[in-house]
Every structure is written in structure tokens, then in C-alpha cells.
Structure 1
Amino acid sequence: MTALINNKKLVVLLVFLLCAGCFHEETSTPSPKLMTSPNQKRDNGFSIVAGEKIGIQDQVVQPIHLTPTKAISFVDELHGYGVSSGTLDLQFLKSSDGGMTWRALSRLPQTIMASAISFFDYQTGWLLTSESSDEKSELRLTLDGGQTWEVIAQDLPGLETRGEELFFRFFDRHQGLIAFQSGKDMILLRTQDGGLTWSASSRISMPSEKEGLFTFRSAIEGWFIGPSKKDKEVSILYHMTDGETWQETGRLPSFLAPQAISFTDQQNGFILLHANPQSSEKTWQFLRTFDGGKTWRQHEFPSTFQPLAASLHLSFPTATSGWLLDARDLWQTTDGGLNWRLLTP
């Protein structure tokens, strides 16, 4: 009987993946062409203007016992999913109240490395992990909101010895993207069948060899922040719209080091920055754009805001609702980043 049930689950899973294109009427995005003109500069009226100071509520009203520690993915202002690591396993968590409370739905034994998580809707999500024994990559799919998971791909190309931060997201039920920087190049892995198979794109030349921050809003549109070649203390913001070329859009304040970036859509984007160690400024700053990166409003955090900068995850599923996760705390905003509330004690 158990074997029969497992076979039925496998059939349902395969039908979902093979017919993934049936869920959307959008045409599949073609693979990008070979890279040309890696460092095109664009004058688009880039500017940074001062904004009001950010408010922080760091007194927790209702302490939560469970909280994500490795990755989060929110699909709207209330429903979010996260991963917490244990000694020998990963615990998958779900929140239905904007991150105020979390409940455990499932565990993944003998899996301690969670690279990233991406949920498309309340039921459909993907989890990229590596086994503790050999550190090979595994991609899991859930169709019931995280209660059960099935391994649908293993040993993804290019991830065998990767140690850098990566971007991982599914834009619909069949198109997904994995991106990571490798020296002078960025490697893009794409899938168009729900994660069953992945193809590595041509290597995209990066504006800088130094590691930077990046995010993608679609399979071909992305943003990258990297240090200037001439002035190492200056960070430059780049935009990609064709899947193959990075265009310089402007320079960020020289005393600030980018820590996290998130774009909700073509118009709304957010960047979290921290003062460089060489600077006398000991502060966190927040940049917001509402016009696709042409104009940014710069906001200062109060001194009580001190997240751990080693590992930060910034997620804005809408232009107003956002979350910031570090290795210790989870913060929430409901007004586009002007006010943040600490959710963990």
C-alpha cells in the first residue's frame, strides 16, 4: 500500500512538472545571447535625495519561539516560509501573520545546508539544499505548502564547488533562475520545466572582479552593486534589462557599503547599506526607489538598529511589506521601510 501511495505521488509530481507551461499563458523567455559590451554607461538622471529618519520598534510584544535562521520567502504581506537549521537536519517553517508567529511543518533529515528557498504561491515552493555527507546540491519541490517535499533534481551544473552567495527564484511555476558570481563572470542557471532540468548560460562578464550584491526581477532583468575599478571605496549600481549586458546607472554614497538589495517590480527597489569600517560614520542607511532606480531616497536608521551584517536576507514581496533576516533577528516593515519592527526577542 505504501509503495502504491508513493507511486501515485510521483505520478502527480511528474504531471505537474511536465505540464508546468499549462499554468501560465506567458511565452517562455528565450535564453540570452552571448555577452557584448559588459560595461555600458547610461545617463538616466540618477540621483540620491535625503529622506526622513527611519523609526525602529525593538521591543517585542509577543516573543516567538520558532523563527527562520537560514532563508525566508514571503508571497504576500501575511504568508511567509522559512528554514531553520538544527544539528543534523533542517526544519521548514510557515507563518500566516506576517512573521509574528511560525509553526514547523516538516523536517529534512541529514540535510544541514540550506542555500535558498523560493515560493511562487501558498502551495508551490522550491528548496535548494546540499546533503551533509557529500555537499552535493539537491532541489526539492513541494505542492502542499511545505508539508511534504520531493527531490526533483540533483548535482545542478556549476554548483559542485560553489561557495559564494547565490540568487535563487522561480518567477512562475516553470521558469526559475539561479545566479552566482564567479570571479570576473556571473553564471546563470535556468530552468523552464519547473526545476527538472537546468541549463547553464554563457558566462556574463561582470563590471568588477570584486564580489558584489545582485538580485533579479525576471529571467533577464537584474541589478548589481559592485565596487568601482578606479575608487575602491565607491559602489556603483548597474542594471541589466536584456539578460546579457550590465549598464551603469549611478554611484552610491562613498562611505556606505551595500549589504542587501531587493526589487519588488520594475519601479520599486530597496538597498540596505552600512558605513565602511574606514569611515567615522557608524550607521545603517536605507535607499528606496519608486521610479525604477532613477531617484533614490536615503534614510538613516537610529543607532539602536544593529543587525548582524555577516548574512542578511532582504525580501519585499510588495512595495510596502518587507522583511529583513540576519543570523539572529527578524525585522518587519509595513510601510516600505520607513518603520521597522523587531519580531524576535
Structure 2
Amino acid sequence: MRVYKILASLFIVGTLLISASTIGATPAQSSSITLKGYPDNFQMTGVKEGWGITLGGVWHTADGALSWKHPLSNTVPMPGNAVQLGKLAHYFAGDNEAWILSAYGPHKPTTLFHTLDKGKSWKTFRLPVKKSWEQGYASGFMHFPDKQGGYILLCSEPALGMMEKSLYRTVDGGTSWSRVGDLTASIAAYPTGITFRDSDNGWITSSNHGQKSILTFRTADGGKSWKPEKLVSPPALSGYAYSNSYPPVFSGKDKKDGVLPLEIVLNGVKSMVFYTSNNGGETWKHGPGIQGVEASRTAWLNARSGWALKAGGKLLATDDGGGSWKQVAKGSAFDKATEIQFSTSRNGWISGPKILWSTADGGHTWRNLLLPS
């Protein structure tokens, strides 16, 4: 589910980490570096275009994920051990535009990198961090609801059950940033992501480990104040189950239609429940649960159209926000894949350890991209 990988999340797919030592080209041979394989963490922004991150830098594809390259110059330096690769704050705004927040540890600058030309050149901006832990943040999330407005949520390593959190905001397209405040007390949870429907209304989703409520929080004043979102617990969330909520996706007129995913874990078995809204997130209601499905194996194109990889090698699809699902394909690759994403109603990808397939018909048939062409 790419919304998990933009705002969160982006999460390591399970492929082998590919470092600079695996680079195939040399400066004398080409003006760009070609990646052997594919990025651990990637997002397709169009039918052909997409972005990826590895320890070797930020990569771009222009051929539907068949090959990945970046220029020899102006590449973004990856941070050290302070930030795990899959938890690096980033935002891929389109085929040409990307944001990366790289942190280097105490007493060193926390730097934003921004490109508008597919990574050929990058501008840098300093995030005006206030605390030393922010200079080596443990995890971060970034979201831009529009061209001028954007938010960055930074989180520390958890200590004694507490994780520090800070929120930053831009209103001029990222040229300057201000610290909205310390959210540690108001977001008493471990965040999984952040999203804003517009410049004022936003959500932070979190993991739940035995708390009585689903730990999802909402702001209506641009992040200055937050309150728990009122989500009625589904029947599946009972007993010793715990949950992970993930950032809602909004679409339709004035972005009034929304879908908010909730992953439930009970006795080691994962299932999904999806909350829907038709009033921009003012109220939510949950639909039926789907057993044998986990969050990273779901994808939402908009608040109505979604896909899910279910145990047993099944690919399911919905066009009503998760109210009903139908099987569109079945195969062993669906069991092996750890992630799925769609950039259009027809074009999608599944990935995982030595798994990279694409579809051009909504998931009915698939092509193995790792086979020689």
C-alpha cells in the first residue's frame, strides 16, 4: 500500500540492501549510475516514472521499474546509522519532484534535499531543529497537502515506553520551515504516518498495544492542537488483539471521500478493517474485516479503489472503499510479495525478496520484470 510507504511509511520491502558497492557504471562510462537490481523502498508516481531509496542514494526510473538510475553529481547523501533507511522522512510529489530529509546526528545539520528535475539537481534547506535528538531522528514522516503547504513529523527512539515527537511546517513550498511544537504529550503513541487533507485538517496514525482506544489523532488547526479521533472499535479488535492504524487517503470532490486502514493482530494472525468517510473525515464508519491480509500488502489508489494480497496467493480488489472485495487473480507470486502499489486503475506492481512483477490491466495478468526481456 503506497500510502504507507509515502507517508510512513516507507518500509523496507525485504530485498537485499544494495549499497554503492553494487553500482554498475563508472564516471568514465556514463553520466549516470545504474543500480543493479531495484530499490528496497520504491514508489511509482506514474505508469513509467518512479522513485526509490537505498544506501547508495535516491534513484529514479523512467521505464516502469525495469531500470533505476541517478546522476553522477548532485546525489543525495544518505545518513549514517542514526536513521534506518526505511524510516527516512521523504515525500515523492510526482514524476519530477522529490523531498528527502537527511540527518547526521548531534551537532550536525538536519538537511532537506529537494529536486524538481528527477534528481539531476538538488536544492538544500536546513530544518531549524530545536533538540539534539532531532539531529539524528529515529523515524520521520512528511506530507504536502498542496504545493505551498507541507509538514514533517520527527520521532525519537522510544525510551521507557515514551517516544519524543516534533512537528514542523512550511507555507512557502519548503523554502522556510517553522517548528509547530512538541507533540510528545498530545500524541501518546508510536506514529505510523501523517497526512493532511488540506492546510488545516490532518491525521497522525499510530500503533496500539493494548490501549482501550484506536490511537489515531486529528488536528483542525494546522497541527497546533491534536485530539484522539473517534473511531468505533470493530468486533475483531477484542480480547488480546492490538492494532496499527495508517494514514487515511482522501479523494473526490473537495477530498470529502476518505478511507482509513486499520491492521489488527490477534494471536499472530493479521487482518484489515477499513474505515470510510464521506464528509472529509468528520465522521468514520468501519466496514467488514478481511483475514489473512496485512497493511503493507494493501494499496489504495483513491478512497474507493484498493487492492489486497491475501494469504493463499489471492489478489483482491474493491471499488467501494473496502465494503466488498472480489478476487481478480491468484498465483504463488502473490504469497511471496511483501508489498503492492498502483499508480493508475490499471498499472500496478508487487515486490519482495527477488520478486518484482507489474500489471497493466488492473491486476488480472502480471509480468515478471526480473526475467530477461
Query: Would you say same fold, with TM above 0.5?
Result: yes
Counterpart of 2:263 in structure 1 is 225
Instruction: Name the CA distance, whole Å, in 2 between partners of 1:101 and 1:341.
Output: 26
**Residues 269 and 288 in structure 1, CA contact (< 8 A), matched pair in contact too:** yes
SS state at 2:287 partner: strand
SS state at 1:173 partner: coil
Q: 1:74 aligns with which of 82, 86, 92?
A: 92
| Displacement of 1:126 | 0.5
Counterpart of 2:68 in structure 1 is 60
**Identical counterparts, % of pairs:** 19
Residues 223-245 of structure 1 show CA distances to partners (whole Å, capped at 9, x for unaligned) of 22324x5x854634433437354
Instruction: Name the CA distance, whole Å, in 2 between partners of 1:322 and 1:102.
Output: 28
Change (3 A) 1:271 1:76: farther
Summarize the alignment of residues 114-129 of structure 1 with structure 2, pairs less than 5 Å apart.
114-129=139-154
**Residues 259 and 321 in structure 2, CA contact (< 8 A), matched pair in contact too:** no
Counterpart of 1:251 in structure 2 is 290
Q: 1:84 aligns with which of 102, 113, 123?
A: 102
**Residues 91 and 104 in structure 1, CA contact (< 8 A), matched pair in contact too:** no
Counterpart of 1:34 in structure 2 is none
Residue 251 of structure 2 corresponds to residue 211 of structure 1: no
**Residues 196 and 203 in structure 2, CA contact (< 8 A), matched pair in contact too:** yes
| Displacement of 1:115 | 2.8
Instruction: Name the CA distance, whole Å, in 1 between partners of 2:186 and 2:124.
Output: 31
How many residues in Structure 1 have an aligned counterpart in Structure 2? 263
Counterpart of 2:182 in structure 1 is 154
Summarize the alignment of residues 189-204 of structure 1 with structure 2, pairs less than 5 Å apart.
189-202=217-230, 204=232
Summarize the alignment of residues 1-345 of structure 1 with structure 2, pairs less than 5 Å apart.
57=65, 59-62=67-70, 65-66=75-76, 69=85, 70-88=88-106, 89-97=109-117, 103-108=122-127, 110=132, 111=134, 112-113=136-137, 114-130=139-155, 136-155=164-183, 157-160=185-188, 162-163=189-190, 165-182=191-208, 183=210, 184-202=212-230, 204-205=232-233, 207-208=236-237, 209-212=241-244, 214-218=246-250, 221-227=259-265, 233=269, 235-241=271-277, 243-248=283-288, 250-252=289-291, 254=292, 257-271=294-308, 288-293=317-322, 294-296=324-326, 297-298=328-329, 319=345
Instruction: Name the CA distance, whole Å, in 2 between partners of 1:325 and 1:84.
Output: 25
Counterpart of 1:20 in structure 2 is none
| Displacement of 1:321 | 7.9
**Residues 219 and 226 in structure 2, CA contact (< 8 A), matched pair in contact too:** yes
SS state at 1:259 partner: helix
SS state at 2:215 partner: strand
SS state at 2:76 partner: coil
SS state at 1:120 partner: coil
Residues 10-56 of structure 1 show CA distances to partners (whole Å, capped at 9, x for unaligned) of xxxxxxxxxxxxxxxxxxxxxxxxxxxxxxxxxxxxxxxxxxxxx98
Report 1 or 2 for greater relative contact order, CA contacts < 8 Å, sequence distance ≥ 6: 1
RMSD: 4.7
SS state at 1:205 partner: coil
| Displacement of 1:125 | 0.4
Change (3 A) 1:91 1:84: same
State the one-letter code of the partner of 2:213.
D
**Structure number with higher strand proportion:** 1
Instruction: Name the CA distance, whole Å, in 2 between partners of 1:101 and 1:286.
Output: 37
**Residues 168 and 178 in structure 2, CA contact (< 8 A), matched pair in contact too:** yes
**Residues 91 and 98 in structure 2, CA contact (< 8 A), matched pair in contact too:** yes
Instruction: Name the CA distance, whole Å, in 1 between partners of 2:71 and 2:349.
Output: 17
State the one-letter code of the partner of 1:79.
E
Instruction: Name the CA distance, whole Å, in 1 between partners of 2:358 and 2:114.
Output: 18
State the one-letter code of the partner of 1:94.
H
**Residues 204 and 247 in structure 2, CA contact (< 8 A), matched pair in contact too:** no
TM-score (norm 2): 0.53
Instruction: Name the CA distance, whole Å, in 1 between partners of 2:184 and 2:164.
Output: 8
Please, which runs of 5 or more residues in structure 2 have no aligned partner? 1-62, 79-84, 251-255
Change (3 A) 1:322 1:286: same
| Displacement of 1:175 | 1.0
Please, which runs of 5 or more residues in structure 1 have no aligned partner? 1-54, 276-280
| Displacement of 1:140 | 0.7
| Displacement of 1:178 | 1.4
